[in-house]
Amino acid sequence: NAGVTQTPKFRVLKTGQSMTLLCAQDMNHEYMYWYRQDPGMGLRLIHYSVGEGTTAKGEVPDGYNVSRLKKQNFLLGLESAAPSQTSVYFCASSFGTDGNTIYFGEGSWLTVV
């Protein structure tokens, strides 16, 4: 019953440091997504992938990179963290588009100081 798993759950970074968030799903989903959620706001799409080896930009892609080398994993990288990237990051996955529910991980709390 793993579903969508994110690691790490919590992290504190210094400005300029780099890090990678890992998302893993065991549902054989084609689509995977990274969102960020800021206080009092909805979720905004950072990047997404429609299949292994593919990635695409979402609404707020600047400062982030992603990779989908394996179907079950979607990595989100911050090359040089900034305080504006302090947020809660959610990974999600779905089989495809129409008719398919999107499932979320439990979130990763990132603070950049």
Partner 1 sequence: GIQVEQSPPDLILQEGANSTLRCNFSDSVNNLQWFHQNPWGQLINLFYIPSGTKQNGRLSATTVATERYSLLYISSSQTTDSGVYFCAVGRVLSSGTYKYIFGTGTRLKVLA
Backbone phi, psi, residue 90, to 5°: -120, 135
Contacts of 91 by beta carbon, 8 Å cutoff, 6+ apart? 4, 6, 21, 23, 25, 32, 33, 34, 35, 74, 76, 104, 105, 108
Q: Are residues 90 and 1 in contact, defined by beta-carbon separation less than 8 angstroms?
A: no
10 or 14: CB nearest partner 1: 10
H or E element: which one contains 49?
strand 43-49
| Contact range with partner 1 by CB under 8 A, out of 17-25, 34-42, 62-70, 76-84 | 34-42
Residues 44 to 103 in contact with partner 1, rule: CB under 8 A: 44-45, 48, 50, 56, 58-59, 88, 90, 92, 96-103
Closest to 88 in 3D by CA, of 101, 106, 68: 106
* Binding-residue total with partner 1 (CB under 8 A): 28
| 28 vs 39 by CB, closer to partner 1 | 39
Minimum CB separation of residue 59 from partner 1 in Å reads 8
Contact residues for partner 1 (CB under 8 A)?
Answer: 31, 33, 35, 40-45, 48, 50, 56, 58-59, 88, 90, 92, 96-104, 106-107
